[in-house]
Chains A and B, each alone.
Chain A
Amino acid sequence: MKSARLLAVALAAATASSSHAQSNAPAAPYAYAQLPDPRQEAEAKALMETLRCLVCQGQSIADSDADMAGDMRSLVRERIAAGERPEAIRAWLVERYGSWVSYKPPVEPVTWPLWAAPAVLLALGLWLARGRFRRKAR
């Protein structure tokens, strides 16, 4: 499936180049560079894949060219390098940007139906399928 993020990449890249030229702030050091420790990098990568790039529709920060995604990647890597736990970084980002930023839905009353859905669906299916076998003529 051709992904939805193509347009977003295009838009983000188009705006990124202009804003990049204007800002004099130093580029985020870890936007396009890995952490030296492979274990930490793996941890950071796993977290980045579950964080939404806020300026691109439907795309994680781990695979976006947008400036903001780069800044967020750098932030995640720096905090992981400083020893912070991935879930603490996620919580900090959610507090700042809302649940929208995390691809992992929180477990709270509003998402209970979402998390219950698999069990409910399976139970419903099993109940339907059981009927197929039980009514067999002996």
Chain B
Amino acid sequence: MIAETALAALWLAAALSLLQLLFGIAALRPGGSDVAPAMRPVAVAQAALVGLAFLLLIQLFLRTDLSVALVAANSHSAKPWLYKFAGAWGNHEGSMLLWVTVLAGAGAAVALFERRLPERTLIATLAAQAAIGLGFYAFLLFASNPFDRLFPAPAEGNGLNPLLQDPGLAFHPPTLYFGYVGISIAFSFAVGALVTRDVGPAFARAMRPWVLGAWIFLTLGITAGSYWAYYELGWGGWWFWDPVENASLMPWLAATALLHSVTVLATRDGLRAWTVMLAVVAFSMSMIGTFLVRSGILTSVHSFAVDPQRGAFILVLLVLYIGGALALFGLRVGTVREGSTFEPVSREGALVVNNLLLSAILGIVMVGTLYPLLIEALSGEKLSVGPPYFNSVSGPLALLLVAVMAAGPLLRWRRDRIGAMARRLAVPLGLTALTLAALLVLFPAIGLLPLLGLVLAFGVGAASLAPLWKRNLRRTPLFVWGMVISHLGIAVSLAGMASEAAFTRETLVAAPIGETVSVGPYRVRFDGVEPLAGPNWSAIQARFTARRGDGSPFVLRPQARTFHSPPTETSEAAIATRLDGQLYTVIGKQDEKGRWQLRLWWKPFVTLIWLGGGLVALGGLLALLGRVRRRRAAREDEA
């Protein structure tokens, strides 16, 4: 009965989203209609129903109800509790249901909490959100039903891909989706504002907290996913320019640009059309990503199943929504009055450069990701576009962007002088020069990109704190703190990336038990191996004793696991985290001479990559709190 109840809830939610759309259209018609007050409750009810369907799916997975086809195909009764729970979205249908749940939840959040937007624009926004929902409900119900029954029920399920059986599965997909799909609010706001021709600073101030919220989750989701891949894959890589990674990076780049342009619109009433365009682009990137991952065009751990019908379905939705929004933009952009124009040397001037560079990087990532697919579709020729392209082409632009980030916050709005800015930047510039000199002396063999990365990281790290200089720290607004911490986070992350690229030490050896090998500053003794059994796997566990100089020795226990269902081998790296980096160890196979393959890395300051990502998200959170607090204060003043 659970599956049927859930399916009924899903159908009802779909019906309510249709109702929400129709109400919206009726309310916006000339002369209007009195259904407008029903919009908010309908949006909330729709989210509650799809949320119920999602909870029931989790319940089916927790009970391992094998009469449900999805559970039988993707779960197993012997799986640990956490992976039964998180396994609900570790498959195509479940992840699409999560997608739609977040979409409806975002709409409900707007209905519940948005009080600033003019009523007509809010109605148009909720109608747009319902229109997106409708298409994806149709996709779920007609092409990806999670609640299909299976008769007769099999005796046991097929199990979950062992690589997904990690606590990361409980955290990474929901977080990423909150951001990835949450950015739909910006899309709907833009469509709503275009419908009512109401693009201006008030609209920007209303949209900003929603963009911030989605962006925080997106940042966290990408950061968490990068760390998950890093420790799970067993080769120490943390970013691969893989199409699926790019699919999450593209909305982040667009949302980051939007975050900055919306500030220009809110503060200086400039970049009106551009900001609306970016809001449309950001969620369009999410939909393109969904298409890439869910259509089966790419084979990956994210895509679960290949079914051309589904790909065609999402492609139609994509064309409908992106095409529709762009057509509306084209029709209405003429009526969006041009906002203010700027002096080149000013805060808004720097923000335009920020947007220019972020958009260029976004364009490069998109071209690099889609070009091989296009060429294969047109000519059948298989091309690979990977790190050599992305690093060499977007790397320099990203470094330039980071340099601009150092100067931007120190510029005044409206008009500033280069000389004044240079004085404010004197200390960071001095530090940059010192770092450059020190690095060139200490590490003459360092590569160009890592060198520039490290130098910039120090300079920008110092510059990012400069806006706090000579300020009363206790009276500094929270959103200024947010900006400072986010920018500092970028510098910290950059330092980690550059340090990892420049200073990683690698040791790959076939070693007999008892041998001691060295990697970086560590001496690692291979003590031996022992068998080990887990709930649904067995493993060979190695024991390493590592020691740095005369420091106290410590033990690492990497595993080579063999999962029973489905039969799969994975390696579980053992990682020791120190203040100045990570010792990353992996045990491989045994060769014919009885020696074991050991893979050891010393990665100085690699943790800064994800620490920086966390700081960026924390800064976003502070900015969000600051904005909400100021808004509340403003409302109380009015009252």
Contacts and interface: CB of A to CB of B under 8 A. Distances in A.
Interface string B554-592: 000000000000011111000000000000000011011
A10 B161 contact: yes
Interface string A68-106: 000000000000000000000000000000111111110
A111 B383 contact: yes
Interface string A101-126: 11111000011011001100110011
B229 A3 contact: yes
A98 to B, nearest CB: 6
Given A7-B161, A32-B599, A34-B508, A118 B393 contact: yes
A103 B385 contact: yes
A133 B236 CA distance: 46
Interface stretch (B4-12, B361-369, B470-478): B361-369
B386 A137 contact: no
17 contacts: A3-B225, A4-B243, A6-B232, A6-B301, A7-B163, A9-B570, A32-B597, A33-B509, A63-B237, A100-B382, A103-B389, A111-B371, A117-B368, A121-B363, A122-B397, A133-B344, A135-B338
Interface in B148-174: 161-164, 168, 172
A122 B360 contact: yes
Contacts of A50: 386-388
Contact of B162 (A10, A62, A65): A10
Given A13-B568, A63-B235, A125-B360, A132 B300 contact: no
B38 interface: no
Interface stretch (B315-323, B349-357, B617-625): B349-357
Given A3-B244, A133-B343, 5 more contacts: A6-B301, A10-B301, A102-B384, A113-B371, A135-B341
Contacts of B172: 2
Interface string A1-45: 111111111100110010010000011000011100000000001
A33 B511 CA distance: 10
Contact of A118 (B228, B302, B360): B360
Given A1-B248, A133-B341, A7 B240 contact: no
A123 to B, nearest CB: 10
B371 A4 contact: no
Contact of A14 (B240, B364, B567): B567
Interface residues of B, number: 81
Given A33-B509, A114-B389, A3 B344 contact: no
A117 B163 contact: no
A137 B343 CA distance: 10
A11 to B, nearest CB: 8
A119 B163 CA distance: 40
Contacts of B234: 9, 65
A6 B568 CA distance: 11
Contact of B388 (A5, A17, A103): A103
Contacts of B567: 14
A121 B507 CA distance: 41
A45 B235 CA distance: 13
Given A7-B161, A103-B386, A133 B342 contact: yes
A133 B348 CA distance: 10
B299 interface: yes
Nearest to A105: B385
A97 B237 CA distance: 25
A60 B255 CA distance: 30
Contact of A5 (B226, B240, B509, B510): B240
A57 B570 contact: no
A113 to B, nearest CB: 7
Interface residues of A, number: 57
B299 A126 contact: no
Contacts of B96: none
B270 to A, nearest CB: 7
Contacts of B228: 2
A107 B61 CA distance: 50
Contact of B353 (A8, A52, A57, A129): A129
What 10 pairs across the A-B complex have the smallest Cβ distances? A103-B386, A4-B300, A63-B235, A1-B245, A6-B163, A104-B388, A6-B301, A7-B301, A3-B229, A1-B225
A12 B237 CA distance: 18
B34 interface: no
Interface string B435-469: 00000000000000000000000000000000000
B568 A10 contact: yes
B381 A9 contact: no
Contacts of A64: 235
Given A65-B234, A105-B384, A110 B570 contact: no
Contact of A6 (B229, B344, B353, B507): B229
Contacts of B364: 117-118, 121
A136 B340 CA distance: 8
B198 interface: no
Given A32-B597, A102-B384, A133-B349, A62 B235 contact: yes
Given A7-B161, A100-B382, A100-B383, A105 B389 contact: yes
A14 B383 contact: no
Given A9-B570, A65-B234, A129-B352, A60 B386 contact: yes
B298 A58 contact: yes
A17 B570 CA distance: 12
A4 B300 CA distance: 4
B359 interface: yes
A110 B375 contact: yes
B385 A114 contact: yes
Contact of A58 (B161, B240, B341, B382): B240
